Amino acid sequence: MNNKLQKYKQMKKFALGIDIGGTNTVFGLVNKKGDIFYSDSLRTKNFSKPTELVKKIYEKWLSIKILLKKNENIIGVGIGAPNGNYYTGCIEFAPNLNWKGEVYLSKMFKRYFSLPVYLNNDANVAALGEMIYGGARKMRDFIVVTIGTGLGSGFVANRHLIYGHDGLAGELGHTLYEKNGRLCGCGKKGCLEAYVSSAGLIKTVNEILLNSKQTSILRSFNNKTLTPLNIQKAAIKGDKLAIEVYWKTGTILGEKLADAVAITGPAAIFLTGGISFAGNLLIQPAKEAMEKNLLPAFRNKVNILQSELLSKNAAVLGAAAMVWHKIT
Amino acid sequence: MNNKLQKYKQMKKFALGIDIGGTNTVFGLVNKKGDIFYSDSLRTKNFSKPTELVKKIYEKWLSIKILLKKNENIIGVGIGAPNGNYYTGCIEFAPNLNWKGEVYLSKMFKRYFSLPVYLNNDANVAALGEMIYGGARKMRDFIVVTIGTGLGSGFVANRHLIYGHDGLAGELGHTLYEKNGRLCGCGKKGCLEAYVSSAGLIKTVNEILLNSKQTSILRSFNNKTLTPLNIQKAAIKGDKLAIEVYWKTGTILGEKLADAVAITGPAAIFLTGGISFAGNLLIQPAKEAMEKNLLPAFRNKVNILQSELLSKNAAVLGAAAMVWHKIT
């Protein structure tokens, strides 16, 4: 018996962490310390049915398994996906995926893997990754904001995600920034996401280009070539208009972060997702605007930081963290 | 031993629940079921030092204790107070109390009572009361908003209050409603509390009286006689201007509640405090505005309700709930 226990402890255990995005699905084997031992990716859009993607991942896993030693195995599957609901194991009406309606993804994975399966939305997964493997390792209360195609957020209170009664909490991107403001992808007007996101950033560039005569590198781009990365590069080169765009965007973000701080009292706010690579171009104005809008008792306490996992495979780590966090 | 245990179980146990307000301090003996067996009050403003109030409450307790049977006793002290910090047991810079700076109230009570003492701010205490004895008994996630002199809020996620890293979370009243809007008591401009509170309601009356020629009962009051109760009475009588004031106030509340729902995903929102006696005058516009500002996935799920403890001694019950919730 003791012998068996010894052997059990020597086993190398992994979690299969999967990040399902609108374009690509990335997955990897992650040990408890957060080292990624293997990773691969598939084009999400190549799979018209979610079961086909699940089957393909399972086949990929079988081909990896052959390479593993006898004492190595996976103990569970963690998945991050847009609109993934932790409570129901279901992707619910994700606008950025080809699979429409309700997709019971956890069930599909369980059928193939016969292992515990955890699904969550991408922002919550990012928050769990930050908590277990990133900058929030020692924090009880913090917020992770992912800024990319959209603006997602994961709120952690007392080391637990705030899921809300239906698993849908954490939608900072759809709080109101400006009454009757820009039309948001969700159908409402003036949502934060309509200003602070890839599309929001580009819209702000176009607005400023129209209303000012300032010279700018950005005038040489057209609608197809103007990307957040080009805006970032211009700003880093000192392009005043590009810097102004980030300042405006960061200020809007900071104003709404102040509300989030007043409600949930985080020790820090971590930014992740493509747009947050802009770093201080975004963080500095966000911090200034947030501080201005905070109650005196909250001031000079809450840092806005880049995610420590920004350059790593954050979503795969976060998805794996669900497995480790639950099972051990 | 068994005999002793029997006797112990037969003991009638109470929590001493204390509600410290700017004007009055109310306290009572509360059993686990939430029945109040004795209650009394003192004028908070008569006590220039907090220790004097603590001493007086202790003396009152001694005089009650004489009347109790041998097997009756209190098992702890729960206190709700403005700016009371659960983590530190300290009242921190409460603008509505005469005691300035940091008041380590828990310590003072422990010195007299030699029992566990729990301090919390008034909105959190209201939320705990609602969770244990009120309408949120079966809910895991909900919000309580207290609307009176100010606007306080207590957020519960997964049956736990959201305290934030420093114990100061839950300040919905100081989230931004209108940029460069009304000056708030906190020194910022445009806070929700500057619109949805006793003073906010009166300010809205005065603004509408100035800018409209509509006849109204409210024109017969002056600055000293115009109170929230008079506005409520006028509205109930069908005074159009008074109804408009509530509609405007409720609409503002609803818009900001939508943000709070997007972030924390509550099953319901409970209104308490003096202003919430207005009931549907406030709830109906708040609900309409909230729904309009919610993501489709959140709509028609979240009720706005009057607190079930509104006519009861809610704060004393909530303060006692901390004792029962912690000890048993």
DSSP string over A286-324: HHHHHHHTS-GGGTT--EEEE-TTTTTTHHHHHHHHHHH
Ramachandran angles phi, psi of A135, nearest 5°: -75, -10
pLDDT of residue A328: 45
Contacts of B172 in chain A (CB under 8 A): 262-263
Region B101-109: mean pLDDT is: 95
What is the enclosing helix (H) or strand (E) of A121? strand A117-121
d(CA A51, CA A309): 30
Distance between B210 CA and the closest CA of chain A, angstroms: 25
Contacts of A255 in chain B (CB under 8 A): 176, 179
Instruction: Give the sheet arrangement for strand B102-103, strand by strand.
Output: B84-85, B90-92, B102-103
Residue B163 DSSP class: -
Nearest to A141 among B164, B260, B265 (CB): B164
d(CA B86, CA B245): 36
Amino acid at A114: S
* Contact state of A168 with B297 under an 8 Å Cβ cutoff: yes
Residue to substitute from B120, B195, B264, interface A, most A β-carbons within 10 A: B264
The answer to whether the complex's ipTM is over 0.85 is yes
Structure tokens, B223: 């600055």
Amino acid at B155: F
* Contact state of B158 with A155 under an 8 Å Cβ cutoff: no
Q: Are strands B72-81 and B36-43 parallel, antiparallel or unpaired?
A: unpaired
- Distances from the Cα of A123 to the Cα of A39, A120, A170, A218, angstroms: 21, 8, 8, 30
Interface check for B258 against chain A (CB to CB < 8 A): the answer is: yes
Ramachandran angles phi, psi of B222, nearest 5°: -110, 180
Top-confidence residue, A313 or B84: B84
pLDDT of residue B323: 95
Please give the distance of CA A59 from its chain centroid, rounded to a whole number: 27
* Contact state of A265 with B170 under an 8 Å Cβ cutoff: yes
Contacts of B171 in chain A (CB under 8 A): 262-263, 295, 298
Taking Cα atoms as reference points, which of A145, A107, A138 lies closest to residue A124? Answer: A145
Distance between B78 CA and the closest CA of chain A, angstroms: 22
pLDDT of residue A2: 61
pLDDT one-digit tens code per residue, B29-42 = 999 999 999 999 99
d(CA A323, CA B50): 50
Top-confidence residue, A132 or B6: A132
Residue to substitute from A263, A293, A299, interface B, most B β-carbons within 10 A: A263
Instruction: Give the sheet arrangement for strand A24-30, strand by strand.
Output: A36-43, A24-30, A12-20, A72-81, A117-121
Top-confidence residue, B2 or B328: B2
pLDDT of residue A9: 59
Start-to-end C-alpha separation, chain B: 21
d(CA A234, CA A246): 11
pLDDT of residue A74: 94
Contacts of A162 in chain B (CB under 8 A): 157-158, 162, 263-265
d(CA B303, CA B109): 38
Amino acid at B154: G
Percent of chain B with pLDDT over 90: 85
d(CA B134, CA A150): 39
Interface check for B299 against chain A (CB to CB < 8 A): the answer is: no
* Contact state of B162 with A165 under an 8 Å Cβ cutoff: no
pLDDT one-digit tens code per residue, B142-187 = 999 999 989 999 999 999 999 999 999 999 999 999 999 999 999 9
pLDDT of residue B8: 58
pLDDT of residue A5: 62
| B174-213 residues touching A, CB cutoff 8 A | 174-176, 179, 186-188
CA angle A320, A324, A325 (to 5 degrees): 110
pLDDT of residue B328: 45
d(CA A271, CA A309): 10
CA nearest B258 in A: which residue? A175
Contacts of B142 in chain A (CB under 8 A): 165
pLDDT tens track of chain A, all 328 residues? 566 666 555 568 999 999 998 889 999 999 999 999 999 999 999 999 999 999 999 999 999 999 888 888 999 999 999 999 999 999 988 877 889 889 999 999 999 999 999 999 999 999 999 999 999 999 999 999 999 989 999 999 999 999 999 999 999 999 999 999 999 999 999 999 999 999 999 999 999 999 999 999 999 999 899 999 999 999 999 999 999 999 999 999 999 999 999 999 999 999 999 999 999 999 999 999 999 999 998 999 999 999 999 988 889 999 999 999 875 4
Q: Are strands B268-272 and B303-306 parallel, antiparallel or unpaired?
A: parallel
Contacts of A176 in chain B (CB under 8 A): 255, 258-259, 293
Interface check for A170 against chain B (CB to CB < 8 A): the answer is: yes
Within 10 angstroms of residue B126's Cβ, the number of other Cβ atoms is 31
CA nearest B161 in A: which residue? A157
Q: Please state the pTM of the whole predicted model.
A: 0.93
Amino acid at B110: K
Taking Cα atoms as reference points, which of A153, A105, A149, A106 lies closest to residue A130? Answer: A153
Distance between A95 CA and the closest CA of chain B, angstroms: 12
The radius of gyration of chain B from alpha carbons, rounded to an integer in Å, stands at: 21
* Ordered domains of chain B (ranges, CATH): 2-129+313-327 (3.30.420.40), 138-306 (3.30.420.40)
* Contact state of B296 with A187 under an 8 Å Cβ cutoff: yes
pLDDT of residue A229: 96
Give Cβ neighbours of residue A289 (< 8 Å, ≥ 6 apart).
A250, A251, A252, A253, A254, A255, A257, A258
